[in-house]
Amino acid sequence: MRRMFLASVIASVLIALLAIGQGIAAEYDVGGRPFTIMGYITQGAAFNITGKNRLDAPQDLESALTNVFLETAYKPRDDLKFYGSGMFTADWAYDIKSNNNDWVSKGFASSRSNLYMDNKDWQLVKEAHVTWTPPNWNIRLGKQIVSWGEMDGFRLIDQINPLDGRRGFADVEFETTIIPLWMAKAEYYVPVKPSWIQDLGVEMVFNPNAEFVGNQFIKPGNNAGGIWAPDINSGLPSPPFPPGAVANVGSANFDFQRPTAFNSSGYEYGLRIKSVIHDSIITLNGFYGLDQMPVAKVTGMDPLTTAANGNLLLHPDFTGKYPLMRFVGGTFSRDITPLKASFLGGVAPVLRFETFYEFGATEWTSTNDWVHRDEFRYAAGMDWKVKIPVLNPRAYFTISPQFTDRRIMNYPDRTDFTLQTPGGPLYENNYLTSLMITTSYLHNKLVPSFFWMRDLTNRSNFFRYQVVYDYSNKWHFSLGVMTFSGSIQGQGFEPFHDKDEVYFKISYKFG
């Protein structure tokens, strides 16, 4: 481990020196063709601001995240490109606070093995693919990202690549959270079309299950999930416990059945028809594969333990699998020009819509069993730029609301059982909405933004206030605050109610 750490530090320093010493562009000539190196180095710090000495929140510094992202591209021919990227992530809070009594006694130090350093091969090697683009074709083999959908922050139809959510809502870069997979993708753009179709392409995706990763979710228990471990309580049986006794959900054991490498049970297939019709982008999507999120049952309980504050901690055993996922869906996007208004700046909103119908989704019940139900999910979003001169005389405000519903078809009669997720009940309709507002000052150098996500069904909120200063196209500084609240214990964002934090990040981007 020490060697790995030292190697990582040396690599980071070398990359930094290489980057800083590069001047305008990190480009080399290899065989007469350009070979590009670029990336970024970020260093962040986050401080809990809940203000109370809570079991699920460290005092003061709670993370000191470093990301080093390196990407390379080489084009030996105009129609052939090799691309690779790698990332190193470390949270130095585990070193800085290793002797901190609060950090150790609350169990955060014990999550070191999960969250100190991302050094698994699938974490270090992000993308590695070759792309061949003869006329009308785009063929890509290798570890890659295939991104579907129109929504930001909500994942409906975008189900091919898993997500790394272990670090919760921390201000990580987009490319750090999507997990590339080894896949083959072929796109064919149809040259002869009816005149009412401006563009038409067919995309086929095959995942041979070279390495099943699945979504990386926040684990319960400070000693497993770290600073983002949710605060969830569960009632204890009486007797033997006093009436009304509760325990916190602590670390759990997860035993998820996953397909072995290249086993056909893990094969995944995606088909997307992409088109531009009358200036609208329309896609039809179909997917057959595995849900990146497992479904689980409680199959046991380890002995109760006691937390630093004297609370009892439950340690459930979960057994589960990554169930089959089959859906068809589509997306639509265009601007609605009749809605432009001169007094608002003359910009028409862009409407984004996406939907899918999943056949036979596997759901967890309140009776700790699995059932199959179809699901219908849809989401609508809008991006509207408006001019508010009194607040910003020179730049526009971009206002982006989104709404989504996850509807369970043939929802069970509640007298039998209800459906649930680890994050709380799953209702017949499950509504989420979000709002993003951003603008810019100082010639686009200062970008403040406000983001609000509301779980309408569980009546909970997540707010993020952030300002980014782009000193140059190399140096960027971010400062922000995140807050969480909820009305129903253990549901929606409520389990994160003690996670309010202020964060700061410096980024150096090169290439």
Partner 1 sequence: MKVRSVLKCFFLPSLSLAMLAGGLQAADYQKVDAGTYLKHKGAMDDPRPVYKDLSYKKVLPPDVYAKLSWDVPTMEKAWKEVVGFAAPEVVGKIAPEIKPGKYTYKDMETMPGLKELMIPYFRDKFFKPGAPPWLGNFPEMTLIPTRQFYYQLPVAEATKRNEGKTKLDSKGYIIPSSYESGIPFPRPSGPFKAQQIVYNWLKNYWCAESSDSVGFFLGFNSHMKMDFNGLIEIKTVRLQGRCAIAPLGYFDERAKSRKEQSAVMLSYLAPRDQYGTAVSIVSYENPADFDLFQVYVNVLRRVRRMSATDTQDAVGGQDIIYDDNSGFNTLNPNRYPYKIELVGEREYLVPFSTDGSIYLSSKKGLELKNVEMERRPLYVIKMTQLDKNYVYSSRLLYFDKENFVLYHIENYDQKGRLYRTNDTFTTFVPEMGMTTQTFVISRDHVDLHSSCATPFITPITWLRRGDMSLEGMIKKGK
Restricting to residues 215-254, name those near partner 1 by CB under 8 A: none
Contact 423, 492 (CB under 8 A): yes
List binders of partner 1 among 88-117 (CB under 8 A): none
User: Minimal distance in Å, beta carbon 355 to partner 1?
Assistant: 16
CA distance from start to end of the chain: 31
Looking at the Cβ atoms of 201 and 490, the one nearer to partner 1 is 201
What single-letter DSSP state applies at residue 266? G
Q: What are phi and psi of 74, to 5 degrees?
A: -140, 130
User: Candidates 51-59, 87-95, 264-272, 341-349 — which segment interacts with partner 1 by CB under 8 A?
Assistant: 341-349
What tokens does 169 get? Answer: 């809502």
Site for partner 1 contains 443 (CB under 8 A)? yes
Other Cβ atoms closer than 10 A to 288: 15
The reply to whether 342 sits near partner 1 by the rule CB under 8 A is yes
Find the binder of partner 1 among 5, 132, 378, 504 (CB under 8 A).
132
Tokens of 55: 């079991």
Site for partner 1 in 57-86 (CB under 8 A): 76-80, 82-83
Residues 6+ apart with CB under 8 A from 500: 48, 49, 50, 481, 482, 483, 484
**Whole-number minimum distance, CB 189 to partner 1, in Å?**
4
- Tell me, what amino acid is at 215? N
Residue 511 near partner 1 by CB under 8 A: yes
Residue 444 binds to partner 1 (criterion: CB under 8 A): yes
Q: Which residues pair with 118 in a beta bridge?
A: 89
Cα–Cα distance measured from residue 72 to residue 74, given in angstroms and rounded to the nearest whole number: 7
Q: How far is the CB of 459 from partner 1 (least distance, A)?
A: 30
349 scored as a contact of partner 1 (CB under 8 A): yes
CB of 4 to partner 1, least distance (A): 17
Site membership for partner 1, residue 4 (CB under 8 A): no
For 392, other C-beta atoms within 10 Å of its C-beta total: 14
Per rule CB under 8 A, count of chain residues that contact partner 1: 94
Q: Supply angle C-alpha 494, 499, 504, rounded to 5.
A: 140
What is the spatial distance between Cα 228 and Cα 77, in angstroms, rounded to a whole number? Answer: 46
List the one residue from 88, 396, 403, 484 that touches partner 1 (CB under 8 A): 396
Give 415 or 473: the residue with its C-beta nearer to partner 1. Answer: 473
Q: How far is the CB of 440 from partner 1 (least distance, A)?
A: 8
Q: 22-41 mask for partner 1 (x: CB under 8 A)?
A: --xx-x-x--xxx-x-xxx-
Q: Quote the tokens at residue 387.
A: 């001019």
Task: Report the nearest approach of partner 1 to the CB of residue 249 (Å).
Answer: 31
**113 contact partners, CB below 8 Å, separation of at least 6:** none
Task: Compose the 181-220 pattern: x for residues touching partner 1 by CB under 8 A, - for all others.
Answer: -x-x--x-x-x-x-x--xx-x------x-xx---------
Nearest to 152 by CA among 451, 489, 389: 451
Tokens at residue 419, please?
Answer: 């459906």
- Farthest-apart Cα atoms in the chain, separation: 78
Of residues 238, 262, 368, 429, which one binds partner 1 by CB under 8 A? 262
- Determine if 175 is a binding residue for partner 1 (CB under 8 A): yes
Between 92 and 256, name the residue whose CB sits nearer to partner 1: 256
Which of 326, 334 has the CB closer to partner 1?
A: 334
Q: Does 141 bind partner 1 (CB under 8 A)?
A: yes
- Residue 295 in contact with residue 362, Cβ under 8 Å? yes
Give the nearer residue to partner 1 in terms of CB position, either 3 or 343: 343
Whether the Cβ atoms of residue 127 and residue 70 lie closer than 8 Å to each other: no
Member of 94, 103, 116, 122 binding partner 1 (CB under 8 A):
122
Check if the beta carbon of residue 404 is closer than 8 Å to that of residue 378. yes
Looking at 336-396, which runs of residues are DSSP E strands? 350-365, 370-386
Q: Is 360 in the site for partner 1 (CB under 8 A)?
A: no
Pairing of strands 253-257, 312-321: parallel
Among 333, 418, 420, 485, which residue sits at the site for partner 1 (rule: CB under 8 A)? 333
Rank residues 11 and 281 by Cβ distance to partner 1 and give the closer one: 281
269 is a site residue for partner 1 (CB under 8 A)? no
**Measured distance CA(387)–CA(401) in Å, rounded:** 17
Q: Which of 174, 240, 242, 413 binds partner 1 (CB under 8 A)?
A: 174
Residue 455: CB partners within 8 Å, gap ≥ 6? Answer: 431, 432, 461, 486, 491, 492, 493
Question: Does residue 395 touch partner 1 according to CB under 8 A?
Answer: yes
CA 70, 75, 26: angle at the middle one, nearest 5?
40
Closer to partner 1 by Cβ: residue 186 or 481: 186
Nearest to partner 1 of 5, 441 (CB atom)? 441
Closer Cβ to partner 1, 190 or 304, answer by number? 190
The token duo for 222 is 């400070």
Site for partner 1 in 293-312 (CB under 8 A): none
Applying CB under 8 A, does 385 fall inside the site for partner 1? yes
Separation of alpha carbons 219 and 229, rounded Å:
6
Binding to partner 1 by residue 416, rule CB under 8 A? no
Window of 108-116, 124-132, 243-251, 495-503 that interacts with partner 1 by CB under 8 A: 124-132
Residue closest to 94 by CA, chosen among 61, 116, 121, 77: 116
Among 105, 474, 479, 481, interactor with partner 1 by CB under 8 A: 474
Residue 453 as a binder of partner 1 (CB under 8 A): the answer is no
